[in-house]
Amino acid sequence: MSDVETGTISTKVPARLDRLPWSRWHWMIVIGLGTVWILDGLEVTIVGNLSAQLAKPGSGVDITQAQVAGLAAALYVAGACSGALFFGWLTDKFGRKKLFIVTLIVYLAATLLTAFSFSAWWFFLFRFMTGFGIGGEYAAINSAIDELIPSRHRGRIDIIINGSYWLGAAGGALLTVPLLNDLPVNIGWRVAFGLGVVLGLAILLVRRNVPESPRWLFIHGRDREAEQIVDDIEREIGKDLPEPEESMTVHQRKSIGFVRIAHTMVALYPKRTVLGLSLFIGQAFLYNAITFGYAQILSTFFQIDTHTGYYFAVIAIGNFLGPLLLGHLFDTVGRIPMISATYIGSGLLLLGTAWLFNEGMLTAVTLTACWSVVLFVASAGASSAYLTVSEIFPMETRAMAIAFFFAIGTAAGGIAGPLVFASLVESGVPGDTALAFTVGGLVMIAGGLVELFLGVKAERKGLEAIAAPLTTAGAARAA
């Protein structure tokens, strides 16, 4: 599709959004949009901790634990990759608001149908569809959040929001304990999926009040709507605000051609493309393998299959504390030093954990403690991967950029990770599992080294200063 130009305007919308003080309105954005990561964490953790229970006779589904932790997990991630690409393209074309409503509805329907699984193929199908909705959420939500949050808060807020995945993970882990122990084997896991639907419905009610991105509107020929939304936000905040001096001139377009989007990412920003892929592959391999497979480790090596939620909740809390306590450093110390430090540091810690595990020096408790330390550091880095790709490309390509890196990086690390990890753990040989740990650590270290050489200093800068919109008159380009 070719670009369709509609006119040229000058606007102060980006500067007006960036100079807003933090307010209740911004908290509404965080709650309405950011809570999707809680849903994802809930989903993934519930399945991981239910794997042993689903494999038991009488569960209502003829499936093995390795299939739940391996094939079903890979299909979920494959669905997320497909959904990110499909809905990411639609998000750049039709706007953020329409798509973050649609993708949540897809998630809700698929999760509900998963709860009614009666055979393995049904379970696999709707795990794929649940991932399809979640993947679309990543593209639509990250785009909207970055375009609505003031630049001086963007790094911290984005990293904490992405880290909130682990609040869902902790909740999902703790919920599975009573559901597995107090309910019949064919009922507990179904109720667990039903709780995800209830949480999703509550988020949908809040999300209805989130506006369309004014940045998206003015570029797509709807500048009056963009100005009205910003007027409403300023009125709601109710403070005297200085008039921003910065303005930008853009050539408005109804649509941006897909060929131009692809050309922008690969030809105009090749170094940033390599950077995005490196960060995503590293965190995706580590997190998808361990998130889906930790219950399998506890069951295989420590004979723990009904109380795995307690152990995973500890890991999840450590994961959330990482972004919460380290997030502000990405805006103050800077993106490059913090991203590289968290990637390389977590990789080195994981190599140490692999050695201890292979030597038989860890119990279920001490292994959980090691993973908590590793992922405290890794979580902030993993969250920064989403932040990086959502802010270093032009606005017209933002959702597709997020979708592209999520899909390619996660396909490489997130599909291969669970499949390889499940087969290595299933062997029951400590050295095989230690090998999986080692590979995850090395890939993370590689991502940190790429950040050192190709990272972008984006802290406290407006999105348009980091990467000028394609429609900006006389926009400068950076590799």
| pLDDT 10s digits, 196-246 | 788 888 888 878 888 898 988 888 888 889 999 999 999 888 777 777 877
Question: Once rounded to an integer, what is the mean pLDDT over residues 305-309?
Answer: 67
Give pLDDT, residue 232: 92
Answer yes or no: is pLDDT of 424 > 50.
Answer: yes
Query: What DSSP string runs through 340-404?
Result: HHHHHHHHHHHHHHHHHHHTT---HHHHHHHHHHHHHHHHHHHHHHHHHHHHSS-GGGHHHHHHH
Q: How big is the CA angle at 201 (ends 292 and 39), to the nearest 5 degrees? A: 20
Strand partners, 474: none
Indicate the range of 100-114, 120-134, 207-221, 369-383 predicted with least confidence: 207-221
Out of 6-15, 82-91, 251-260, 280-289, least confident range: 251-260
Tell me how far the alpha carbon of residue 33 is from its chain's centroid. Answer: 12
Residue 59's pLDDT band, with cuts at 50, 70 and 90, is confident
Q: What is the pLDDT of residue 476?
A: 45
Q: Exposed, middle or buried, 225 (CB in 10 Å: 0-12/13-18/19+)?
A: middle
| pLDDT range class, residue 347, cuts 50, 70, 90 | very high
How far from the centroid of its chain's Cα atoms is residue 387's Cα? 9
Give Cβ neighbours of residue 479 (< 8 Å, ≥ 6 apart): 268, 269, 270, 271, 272
CB 191 within 8 A of CB 334: no
pLDDT in tens, 426-477: 777 888 888 888 888 898 999 999 999 999 999 988 888 898 887 775 544 4
* Chain position carrying tokens 């008159």: 473
Overall pTM > 0.85: no
Residues 318 and 46: their CA atoms lie apart, in Å, by 18
CA 300, CA 155: separation in Å to the nearest integer?
39
Q: Which residues contact 448 (CB under 8 A, 6 or more apart)?
A: 282, 339, 340, 341, 342, 343, 344, 345, 347, 381
With H, G, I as helix, E, B as strand and everything else as coil, classify residue 459.
coil
Measuring CA to CA, how many Å separate 248 from each of 58, 80, 396, 473?
64, 35, 15, 8
Q: Which two tokens stand for residue 32?
A: 């309405």
Distance CA 166, CA 85 (A): 24
Tell me if 310 sits within 8 A of 174, measured CB to CB. yes
Give per-residue pLDDT as tens, 352-366: 999 999 998 988 889
Residue type, 218: F
What pLDDT was estimated at residue 257?
Answer: 59
Tell me the pLDDT band of 146, cut-offs 50, 70 and 90.
confident
